[in-house]
Amino acid sequence: MRMEETTELERYRRMRASIEERYAEVSGRMEQLKAEGKIKSATYRQYYANKMIYKNMLDLYRLYDL
């Protein structure tokens, strides 16, 4: 395997791990806001939008077996 391929693979793995962490973090924050009855807040809605972005990215990775 060439050096560029290894580096690219490592960058991909770091990116995917970061997206998975962010997805989990946002999900946790949403649960906190939900428990506080703040599901109509702008903050909750922003977390929801971010969660959907992360979910779509993870779904694409799964679709292409990455």
Q: Euclidean distance between the first and final Cα of the chain, in Å?
A: 18
Report the mean per-residue pLDDT for the chain: 94
pLDDT digits (tens, 9 = 90+) for 38-66: 999 999 999 999 999 999 999 999 999 98
Ramachandran class of 2: left when φ > 0, alpha when ψ lies in -120 to 50, beta otherwise: beta
* Per-residue model confidence (pLDDT) at position 3: 63
Enumerate the domain spans of the chain: 19-63
Average pLDDT (9-16) is 94
pLDDT digits (tens, 9 = 90+) for 20-33: 999 999 999 999 99
The pTM of the full predicted model, rounded to 2 decimals, is 0.85
